[in-house]
């Protein structure tokens, strides 16, 4: 659908740089991940794209147009938060309906769309229940349906798998990948779990302390990490202290060569 471009974004909170000079380009219809330990600025990045947080520096383009001065509600970037944030005072159906209602779409048109969307996420039986009466996985699906129904230009998922048990987690991963492929919606997934990122995304950006360390396909990151931090993040590695005698290319290939060797055997 629409492409997203972040250019030299910086953000400082209380004198601490949360995001440093971040540049990121996401192709239309692509699903990417921002991966990194908690507190590395991933969620802040999402909020900056959606306009909930204003960046100190840098520019954001959605679909080729600068959106820096647009208020959140006009940017067309829907976030699905980690804690679902369903409106507790209304039913599941009304939660999904919310975005359409805000756009002033007449009631009977809304009804149909809501039913379609609930069917799409497999919750057509739960439309009249309240958020407190459904399970965690179902709440997650409601939150996603609620984001999708406004037909966002970009879908932002903030740690969608972190509150779920292992089995549900795998189900949800599949669910999200399926939806993304069906709708071809530009999606950014934020996670601290490398498995989530490797399974779901066509590209991964690894972030540490507000710096985007490397951005590439899962294969590139796994097989040719550009820094020690990235390599360590993707799994246990054997490190050998070396003295630099040749150019950088050489040391990199050395790291690669020794990565999978078990030294005790």
Partner 1 sequence: MTSIRISVFVTLLTLAITIPGGKALGIYDFPGKGFIKIFVLAPLILSPVAIGMGIHGTFIRLGLTNTEFGVILIHIVPVIPYGIRIFTNIFELVGDHLEEQSKVLGAGSFQTFLHVTLPTITPGIISAGSMIFIISFSQYFLTFLIGGGSVQTFPVLMVPYIQSGDRMMAATYSLVFIVVALLALQAIEKMFRLYYSKNSGIAGVYYTRKQVKS
- Would you tell me which residues interact with partner 1 (CB under 8 A)? 50-52, 71-74, 76-79, 81, 83, 85, 87-91, 94, 98-99, 101-103, 130-132, 146-147, 150
CB of 242 to partner 1, least distance (A): 48
Nearer to partner 1, 126 or 146 (CB): 146
* Of residues 57 and 90, the one with the C-beta less far from partner 1: 90
Contacts for 243-252 with beta carbons within 8 Å, 24 or more apart? 252/224, 252/226
Shortest reach from residue 78's CB to partner 1, in Å: 6
Return d(Cα 183, Cα 14) in angstroms, integer: 40
CA–CA distance, 172 with 160 (Å, rounded to integer):
8
- Residue whose CB is less far from partner 1, 53 or 255: 53
Q: Are 186 and 29 in contact (CB under 8 A)?
A: yes
Torsions phi, psi for 13 (to 5 deg): -115, 125
3-state secondary structure of 217: coil
Q: How far is the CB of 206 from partner 1 (least distance, A)?
A: 25
Q: How far is the CB of 100 from partner 1 (least distance, A)?
A: 9
Residue 72 or 202: which CB sits closer to partner 1? 72
Which residue's CB is nearer to partner 1, number 157 or number 221?
157
CA dist., res. 183 & res. 116, Å (int): 14
The 8-class DSSP code of residue 157 comes to E
Between 130 and 208, CB nearer to partner 1: 130
What own/partner pairs with CB < 8 Å and gap ≥ 24 does 211-218 have? 211/20, 211/21, 211/22, 212/22, 212/23, 212/24, 215/24
User: What token pair was written down for 20?
Assistant: 């440093």
Q: How far apart are CA 208 and CA 63, in angstroms?
A: 27
CB of 150 to partner 1, least distance (A): 5
CB of 239 to partner 1, least distance (A): 42
């Amino acid at each position: 659908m629409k492409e997203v471009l972040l250019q030299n974004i910086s953000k400082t909170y209380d004198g601490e740089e949360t995001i440093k000079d971040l540049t990121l380009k996401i192709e239309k219809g692509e699903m990417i991940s921002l991966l990194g330990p908690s507190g590395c600025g991933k969620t802040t990045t999402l909020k900056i794209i959606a306009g909930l947080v204003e960046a100190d520096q840098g520019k954001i383009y959605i679909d080729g147009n600068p959106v820096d001065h647009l208020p959140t509600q006009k940017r067309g970037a829907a976030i699905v938060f980690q804690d679902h944030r369903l409106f507790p005072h209304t039913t599941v159906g009304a939660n999904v309906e919310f975005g359409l209602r805000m756009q002033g779409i007449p009631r009977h048109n809304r009804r149909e769309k809501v039913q379609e969307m609930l069917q799409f996420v497999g919750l057509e039986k739960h439309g009249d229940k309240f958020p407190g009466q459904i399970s965690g996985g179902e709440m997650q699906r409601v939150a996603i349906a609620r984001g999708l129904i406004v037909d966002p230009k970009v879908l932002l998922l903030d740690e969608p798998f972190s509150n779920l048990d292992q089995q549900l987690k795998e189900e949800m991963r599949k669910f999200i990948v399926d939806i993304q492929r069906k709708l071809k919606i530009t999606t950014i997934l934020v996670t601290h779990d490398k498995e989530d990122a490797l399974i779901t995304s066509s590209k991964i950006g690894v972030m540490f302390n507000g710096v985007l360390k490397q951005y590439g396909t899962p294969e590139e990151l796994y097989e040719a990490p550009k820094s020690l931090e990235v390599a360590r993040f993707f799994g246990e590695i054997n490190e050998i202290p070396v003295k630099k005698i040749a150019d950088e290319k050489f040391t990199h290939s050395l790291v690669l060569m020794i990565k999978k060797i078990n030294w005790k055997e």
